């Protein structure tokens, strides 16, 4: 893995003596206290983790099926315009092909679809081992979704009724539902222009009941993990990284998900690697691992590994993944690093080409080398200008949208939370179990709403031919220069 770490501006004294490293800002490269790296400084070398022999394939090395589709549809495809109605990643998968079909066939023909009771040592065990190796952690538990991974992570940390968990106001609602699922209350914090949780607002939101922070690496962008870990250590809080949109990304040379006490990944249909629905919890902490293992499998008492657990059993659920999904994930994992590299390369090309061409800045990134590169975020000075931009580039057939229209990813639309209906039954409702009243309102995070309303997204595509990328860049540049 690249040892290069982002340059941070460490402010001397923050409230409660927590130093908050700042993110890169591509538009202000020479600030004395905040030396920023520009893409030109890092564009010439590969920044991905050294790949193991398993990771020696490239997207193009796999002959795609006819169902193999790309993140961004062909710009000449007339269906593109209707796809634009669907926010939040393409309605299509990134890369999937014959190898996944073969893997599924292999599992079905084996007659062993269950991970336990004969399936031990099979696809799931192997995927967990490979994912641990990739992320750089001791333990992985493959589960049925990113939501399940978040819930298992909180259970593993012993979070429960009476506890508060700080989450950002810009993330999929699942990040905030996970605390409720374990009886704790989500406390919503601002995101800053990096589109990730604002460390200063974390500090403002801490109470004596705060037990954990869930930073979310939204659209593949690493959160400010140095600042978050400093705060967590200072206040004795747990950190559960939500890397559901950032499979394989890194921060400071460490893979996302491996920096906090635990990390959660999603492999649903829209994620960087996918098996349709799936997830994984990672941790180096033996107790978090064991408690999550117990919780994810209500039948743990009947498994071979039960004797190795040092934690007492308690009632769990069923978030077990199956062998078919794990077999798909094992193939997807072989594609991951090459995809990330291709997307980051595209992103650098786009940023180099567009820098200085119009009235916008690029949203700052906390680690440009660990960014997954899925999304290019442009920050305008007003919502009107952002909308003019997205409208005009769409007219030229380029996919563009704004997080302001992302509905489910904005706290102001999280109805079950804003209305404090935390469970199906009042006796299980975290809001009713909480010792202190929390209040939510749609305008409680004005900074988040402001940043999202001025941000526009363009998308990379790991399999796009260079000439298509060039056409896309030229179209966007025309719009930016005319704004």
Ligand X SMILES: Cc1ncc(COP(=O)(O)O)c(C=O)c1O
Residue whose CB is less far from ligand X, 238 or 348: 238
Please state the closest distance from residue 385 (CB atom) to ligand X, in A.
Answer: 27
Residue whose CB is less far from ligand X, 340 or 433: 340
> Strand ranges (DSSP E) for 372-426?
375-380, 400-401
Separation of alpha carbons 84 and 405, rounded Å:
12
- Alpha carbon separation from 429 to 69, 344, 432 (Å, rounded): 42, 43, 5
- Reported as type and span, the H/E element at residue 213 is strand 210-213
Separation of alpha carbons 147 and 11, rounded Å:
35
Please state the closest distance from residue 120 (CB atom) to ligand X, in A.
Answer: 25
Asked whether position 172 contacts ligand X by CB under 6 A, the answer is yes
Terminal-to-terminal C-alpha distance of the chain:
40
Residue whose CB is less far from ligand X, 34 or 140: 140
Residue 107, helix vs strand vs coil: helix
Please state the closest distance from residue 147 (CB atom) to ligand X, in A.
Answer: 3
Residue whose CB is less far from ligand X, 28 or 86: 86
Separation of alpha carbons 48 and 337, rounded Å:
7
Tokens read off for 23: 């993110």
Please state the closest distance from residue 38 (CB atom) to ligand X, in A.
Answer: 28
Asked whether position 174 contacts ligand X by CB under 6 A, the answer is yes
Please state the closest distance from residue 393 (CB atom) to ligand X, in A.
Answer: 24
Residue whose CB is less far from ligand X, 145 or 254: 145
- Reported as type and span, the H/E element at residue 405 is none
Residue whose CB is less far from ligand X, 256 or 350: 256
Cβ pair 296, 319 in contact under 8 A = yes
Residue among 69, 171, 210, 374 that touches ligand X (CB under 6 A): 171
Q: Which stretch binds ligand X (CB under 6 A): 3-11, 166-174, 288-296, 462-470?
A: 166-174
Please state the closest distance from residue 149 (CB atom) to ligand X, in A.
Answer: 8
Q: Is 250 left (phi over 0), alpha (psi -120 to 50) or beta?
A: beta
Q: Which of 348, 15, 378, 365 is nearest to 224 (CA)?
A: 365
Please state the closest distance from residue 382 (CB atom) to ligand X, in A.
Answer: 27
Strand order across the beta sheet in which 400-401 lies: 360-362, 375-380, 455-459, 400-401
Count of residues near ligand X by CB under 6 A: 14
> Within positions 197 to 256, which residues make up the interface with ligand X, using CB under 6 A?
216, 242, 244-245
Please state the closest distance from residue 195 (CB atom) to ligand X, in A.
Answer: 11
DSSP class per residue in 307-350: GG--SPP----B-B--HHHHHHHHHHHHHHHHHHHHHHHHHHHH
Cβ pair 375, 88 in contact under 8 A = no
Separation of alpha carbons 315 and 224, rounded Å:
35
Helices (H), 217-283: 225-235
Separation of alpha carbons 43 and 65, rounded Å:
32
Please state the closest distance from residue 165 (CB atom) to ligand X, in A.
Answer: 13
Q: Which of 150, 314, 316, 309 is nearest to 243 (CA)?
A: 150
Please state the closest distance from residue 245 (CB atom) to ligand X, in A.
Answer: 5
Please state the closest distance from residue 222 (CB atom) to ligand X, in A.
Answer: 13
What would the x/- binding string for ligand X be over residues 107 to 146, using CB under 6 A?
Answer: --------------------------------------xx
Please state the closest distance from residue 210 (CB atom) to ligand X, in A.
Answer: 20
Query: Tokens 């199956």 map to which residue?
Result: 322
> Within positions 352 to 391, which residues make up the interface with ligand X, using CB under 6 A?
none
Tokens read off for 320: 């077990």
Separation of alpha carbons 215 and 161, rounded Å:
21
Residue whose CB is less far from ligand X, 146 or 183: 146
Residue whose CB is less far from ligand X, 266 or 390: 266
- Name the residue number minimizing CB distance to ligand X: 146
Asked whether position 266 contacts ligand X by CB under 6 A, the answer is yes
Query: Tokens 């489910």 map to which residue?
Result: 408
Tokens read off for 52: 């193991």
Residue whose CB is less far from ligand X, 216 or 354: 216
Residue whose CB is less far from ligand X, 146 or 263: 146
Phi/psi of residue 188, each to 5°? -95, 125
Residue whose CB is less far from ligand X, 361 or 406: 406
Query: Tokens 């009107």 map to which residue?
Result: 384
Residue among 47, 193, 223, 268 that touches ligand X (CB under 6 A): 268
Residue whose CB is less far from ligand X, 319 or 362: 319
> Within positions 55 to 114, which residues make up the interface with ligand X, using CB under 6 A?
none
User: What is the Cβ-side half-sphere exposure of residue 102, based on CA atoms within 13 angstroms?
Assistant: 10
Binding site for ligand X (CB under 6 A): 145-147, 171-172, 174-175, 216, 242, 244-245, 266, 268, 279
């Amino acid at each position: 893995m690249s040892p290069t770490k982002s340059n941070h501006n460490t402010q001397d004294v923050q409230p409660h003596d927590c130093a908050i490293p700042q993110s890169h800002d591509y538009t202000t490269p020479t600030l004395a206290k905040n030396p920023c790296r520009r893409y030109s400084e890092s564009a010439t070398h590969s920044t991905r983790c050294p790949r193991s022999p398993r990771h020696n394939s490239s997207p193009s090395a796999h002959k795609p099926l006819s169902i193999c589709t790309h993140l961004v549809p062909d710009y000449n495809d007339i269906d593109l315009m209707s796809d634009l109605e669907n926010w939040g990643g393409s309605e299509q998968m990134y890369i999937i092909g014959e190898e996944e079909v073969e893997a599924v066939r292999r599992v079905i023909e084996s007659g062993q679809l269950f991970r336990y009771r004969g399936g031990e040592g099979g696809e799931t065990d192997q995927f967990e081992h490979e994912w641990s190796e990739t992320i750089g952690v001791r333990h992985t538990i493959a589960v049925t979704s990113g939501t399940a991974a978040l819930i298992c992570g909180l259970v593993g940390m012993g979070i429960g009724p009476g506890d508060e968990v700080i989450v950002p106001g810009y993330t999929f609602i699942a990040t905030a539902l996970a605390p409720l699922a374990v009886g704790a209350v989500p406390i919503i914090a601002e995101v800053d222009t990096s589109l990730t949780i604002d460390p200063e607002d974390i500090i403002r939101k801490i109470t004596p009941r705060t037990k954990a922070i869930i930073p979310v690496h939204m659209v593949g962008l690493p959160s400010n993990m140095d600042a978050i870990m400093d705060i967590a250590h200072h206040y004795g809080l747990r950190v559960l990284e939500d890397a559901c949109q950032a499979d394989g990304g890194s921060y400071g040379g460490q893979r996302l998900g491996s920096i906090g006490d635990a990390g959660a990944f999603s492999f649903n249909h829209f994620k960087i690697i996918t098996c349709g629905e799936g997830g994984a919890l990672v941790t180096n902490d033996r107790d978090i691992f064991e408690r999550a293992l117990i919780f994810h499998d209500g039948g743990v008492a009947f498994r071979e590994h039960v004797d190795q657990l040092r934690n007492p059993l308690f009632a769990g659920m069923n978030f077990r993944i199956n062998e078919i999904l794990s077999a798909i994930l094992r193939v997807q994992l072989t594609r991951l690093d090459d995809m990330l590299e291709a997307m980051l390369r595209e992103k650098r090309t786009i940023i180099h080409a567009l820098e200085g061409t119009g009235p916008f800045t690029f949203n700052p990134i906390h680690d440009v080398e660990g960014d997954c590169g899925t999304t290019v975020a442009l920050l305008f000075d007003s919502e009107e200008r952002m909308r003019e931009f997205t409208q005009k580039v769409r007219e030229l057939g380029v996919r563009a949208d704004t997080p302001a229209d992302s509905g489910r990813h904005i706290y102001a639309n999280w109805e079950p939370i804003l209305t404090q209906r935390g469970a199906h039954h009042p006796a299980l409702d975290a809001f009713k179990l909480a010792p202190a009243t929390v209040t939510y309102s749609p305008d409680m995070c004005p900074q988040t709403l402001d940043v999202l309303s001025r941000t526009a997204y363009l998308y990379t595509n790991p399999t796009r031919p260079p000439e298509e990328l060039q056409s896309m860049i030229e179209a966007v540049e025309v719009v930016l220069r005319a704004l």
